[in-house]
Structure formats: structure tokens, C-alpha cells
Amino acid sequence: MFGIWGHDKAAELTYYGLHSMQHRGQEGAGIVVNDGTELNVHKDLGLVNDVFKHAKFDQLQGRVAIGHVRYSTQGEKAASNVQPLLFHAQTGSLALAHNGNIMNAYKLRGELEKQGSILQTSSDTEVLAHLIKRNGEGINENSISDALNQMVGAYAYLILTEEKMYAALDPSGIRPLSIGLLGDAYVVASETCAFDQIGATFLREVLPGELITIDDNGLKSIRFAEQRKRSLCAMEYVYFSRPDSNENYVNVHASRKKMGKELAKEAPADADIVVGVPDSSISAAIGFAEESGLPYEMGIIKNRYVGRTFIQPSQDLRELGVKMKLSPVRGIIEGKRVIMIDDSIVRGTTSKRIVKLLKEAGAKEVHVRIASPAITDPCFYGVDMSTKDELIAANHSIDEIAKIIGADSISFLSEEGLQRAILKDNSINQGICMACMTGKYPVQEEEEKEVTYTS
Ligand code: AMP
């Protein structure tokens, strides 16, 4: 999510901000601009560049905008679900962008439908719009707070009306959300890399349970809920976020490097070189090499022109497809004992393929070291972690995993090691959510049995 208040080039800057956060969602992208009298939207399925290739920015004039890139977990990949969602009422318009996952969305939809609401999308984001309006007193801090307090799950929201922009974060702060300044303009973004992209400076993070209102009078903060212990998603640090982003005042690359160092202390191996799987594991591999005193080598190359859009290979050409994306450097690998670092194992498919590639390139031994604990439980907070039966570590012992992926040995970082790598101290604001690794969920919706909708 990206939002900006008070800049002549609001839509263009939102485009740049979204582009820098393309890794957060590749399914769809959109921008809503406030031209001073009404809200206008441009959005579609596809990557940011494709969606805005033919966009006429002169028709997206205005000093205020919000934008979104979408990645859905269980919700439909439908055009109608691409955000921001825009609603019109006699009293004014409302645009919404959401990052996270609402666990009780199914129940809330049911209640809304019983009261006569007809929803257009299968996205949980629409539920918030109805709840805000149901209050009957217009769109303001009160009605938004009321609506937010009915949400159970992980959420960061950007809400735009003709008069104001609002930014809110769930009481556990599961997803990241930061505020920056560009001259006199306020900027809000899921990741701080978006600020660097447009030349904005970081001001502060949105706090768990905080609702921020931005208008021409500046920034105002209220609490819509009591702040719980922070549970910022550990996978944001492990895999999801860009290394140049800071989250909860910790740099992502630096934390990944520390994960590698912790791993090297916990699970050293007799080997000749350390190799990382590009791109997300490079930082951890550098840390592992530094700590172990072994050389870090570029043993695997990623073809930068193979995006997520490339034609999915058919089953019999799948191996070729893997090689299209990642190639081992034979001159480096051949005859060596290799420590292969990956950031995480979900289903085990990536590690298995890469071990095979390294062995085919002549590696004498491949010792797999994973810079996060084994993922054993699904995520209900907005990261695409498959169901338990698809998670390799939920169904197999460490030795079995090593055998399945063909590694000579395998080790995962401990939970304590991950915490040490991310947390500055153990104060209340420094907690992380490791539910997918521990099965301990910081937010629970007991009654919610049906499939959840997601943004
Ligand atoms: P898998 O191949 O299923 O074991 O997935 C693990 C690989 O996917 C690792 O190399 C990670 O970099 C990456 N990864 C980790 N979490 C996710 C996620 N939620 N979505 C997509 N890729 C992921």
C-alpha cells in the first residue's frame, strides 16, 4: 500500500512507490486520486508497469492518492478484487486499500447480508467499507474506529475520502506500515523502500491499534484499540520484504545477515564454499560465510528476465523451467563441498531442485542450511503459506527432509536464533509473529471455521 497527501504529482509518485513494492503483489495494481472534488480510479489485473502503461496521468490529477498492489492467498484473482476499492454514496466517496487478512470476514459478511447488504467482491476489504457506513454517522474517526474494532486478524488499511486520508494498523501490528515526509507532503507505505524511491524521509511507524488522520491541518493520531504485544510477521524479515526496507526500526538486510550468522553458529558444516539462492537468501548467505570464515561464492545465477509472468512450463519441461530461472556456476561448484543457504522451506520444491542442480554441476556435497525455523503451520494473517498437508516440515522429520531434497545434511535456524536476529530487545514493541513456525497464533478467531477472504 502507498498513500500521499499534499503533492501536485500525487498519482505519479504513487506509481513509483507501488513499483518499488511490486514484490509485495503481482496480481493487480491500482491508484485512486482525489482531484479536489471527487475520487478517480485506475486499476487492473497485472504488474504495475503493465497496468499503468497506457494510463493517462493527466487524467489522474490531484494532490492526494492511495495505491495498492495485490497478492491474494485464498481470495479470487478477479479484476473486481483489485484495489483500491472505490465506493460512492450521497454523502461522499470512500476508497480503501488493505494489506493483511481478516479472519472473521466470512462471519461479518453473513451479518451484513442478513441486514440487506449486497457485496460486489469476494475481498474482505469491502466488508470494512460496509461496516464504516453502517454506523450511520458518516465517515470519520468514530465510524472507522467502530468498524476496525469488529475486525479480527491482520490488517493495515489506507482509507481515503474527499476530505481526509486515514491509516490504521491492527492492535498486534502484524503487518508493517510507515509514515514519511516529502517536503510538506505526508507519505504512507507498507515498506520504507518506497520512501527511498521517491526521495521521502522516514518519519515514524504507524503503531499497533493506532488510527492516523491526515488532512491539510497535518497529522492527527488516536487509538482505536489498546496496543497488544507487537507481533510483526517474521516472514516479512525472512523472505517477503525488500532488503533495503526497515521494519520496526530494523533493517531487513541486516536482520537476514544476522540470521545467517546465527545459523552458522548453530549449524556449521565442513565445506569449501557458501552459496545463497538468489535473491532473498543472499543476505543470509553473506552472514553465514562471514561467521564461518568460509568464502561466499556466487554459485547460483538468477536470470533477471524471468519474472513471475513467464510461461509456466508443462510438466515434462518443468526442469527446463527451473533452469530458466536459476543456473549453477559449474566453474565454481565443481568438486566443491557446498553449503547452500535458502531463507525458508515451504513445500520443499525449491530446495530439492537446487540441490539437484548443484549436484549436476559437480558439487561433491551439498549441505542445506535454512535461515529460518521449519514452517509447520499455515498463516492466517496474509502470507501465502499453504495448508498443513502441503508443508514439508509439518509432515516429515529433519532426516526425512534431507533425504527428500537429496541433501547431504540439513539444518534450520532455531526460533531463538531468529528472534535474536530480528529483535533489538524484548520490550513490548519488539515482538514478532512466528505462528507459521511455532503454531502459536497471536490473534485467534475461534468461531471462524469457513474459508477466509483475503487482500
Ligand atoms: P518451497 O519451494 O515451497 O519450499 O518454498 C520456499 C521458497 O520460496 C524459498 O526459496 C523462499 O525464498 C520462497 N518463499 C518463502 N515463502 C514464500 C511465500 N509465502 N510465497 C512465495 N515464495 C515464498
Same domain for 260 and 408, yes or no, is yes
For position 87, which CATH number holds? 3.60.20.10
Q: What DSSP state is assigned to residue 71?
A: -
**How many Å from the N-terminal Cα to the C-terminal Cα in the chain?**
11
pLDDT tens per residue across all 455 residues of the chain: 999 999 999 999 999 999 999 999 999 999 999 999 999 999 999 999 999 998 888 889 999 999 999 987 656 778 888 999 999 988 889 999 999 999 999 999 999 999 888 888 888 889 999 999 887 788 999 999 999 999 999 999 999 999 999 999 999 999 999 999 999 999 999 999 999 999 999 999 999 999 999 999 999 999 999 988 899 999 999 999 999 999 999 999 999 999 999 999 999 999 999 999 998 999 999 999 999 999 999 999 998 887 554 445 555 665 666 677 889 999 999 999 999 999 999 999 899 999 999 999 999 999 999 999 999 999 999 888 768 999 999 999 999 999 999 999 999 999 999 999 999 865 556 799 999 999 999 998 764 444 444 44
3-state secondary structure of 95: strand
What is the residue range of 321's domain? 237-419
Position 431 in a domain: no
pTM of the model: 0.93
Looking at the structure, do residues 196 and 294 belong to the same domain, yes or no? no
With 0-12 / 13-18 / 19 or more C-beta atoms within 10 angstroms meaning exposed / middle / buried, residue 282 is: buried
Which of 198, 228, 258 marks a domain boundary? 228
- HSE, CB side, 13 Å, CA atoms: give it for residue 301: 12
Residues 187, 42 share a domain: yes
Residues 21 and 167 in one domain: yes
Shared-domain flag, residues 327 and 360: yes
What pLDDT does residue 145 have? 97
Whether 117 is in a domain gets the answer yes
**Ligand 1 pocket test: which of 256, 302, 322, 344 has the largest number of ligand atoms within 8 Å of its C-beta?**
344
Q: What atom of ligand 1 comes closest to residue 392's alpha carbon?
A: 4
Instruction: Please check whether residues 213 and 287 belong to one and the same domain.
Output: no
pLDDT at position 426 is 54
Residues with CB under 6 A from ligand 1: 239, 277, 280, 342-351, 383-385
> Which residue, by CA, sits nearest to atom 5 of ligand 1?
346
Maximum pairwise Cα distance, the chain: 72
- Backbone phi, psi, residue 15, to 5°: -55, -50
Same domain assignment for residues 178 and 298 = no
Compute the distance between CA of residue 298 and CA of residue 319 in angstroms, rounded to an integer.
21
Residues 156 and 278 in one domain: no
Residue 345 Cα to ligand 1 middle (Å) = 6
Burial (CB count within 10 angstroms: exposed 0-12, middle 13-18, buried 19+), residue 183: exposed
| Number of domains composing the chain | 2
Alpha carbon nearest to ligand 1 atom 20, residue: 384
Task: Please count the CA atoms within 13 angstroms of the CA of 276 that sit on its side-chain side.
Answer: 22
- Domain boundary among the residues 228, 254, 278 is at 228
Q: What is the CATH number of the domain that holds 296?
A: 3.40.50.2020
Query: Is 444 contained in some domain?
Result: no
Same domain membership, residue 212 and residue 244: no
Helix, strand, coil content of the chain in percent (nearest 5) = 35, 25, 40
Shared domain for 45 and 154, answered yes or no, is yes
Q: Would you state the pLDDT for residue 322? A: 65
Q: Which atom of ligand 1 is nearest to the CA of 379?
A: 19
Q: What is the DSSP string of 195-250?
A: HHHHT-EEEEEPPTTEEEEEETTEEEEEESS---S--EEHHIIIIIS-TT-EETTE
Residue 172 is assigned to a structural domain of this protein: yes
Q: Which amino acid is at 421?
A: A
Alpha-carbon gap, residue 241 to 193, rounded angstroms: 9
The cell for 23 is: 514484490
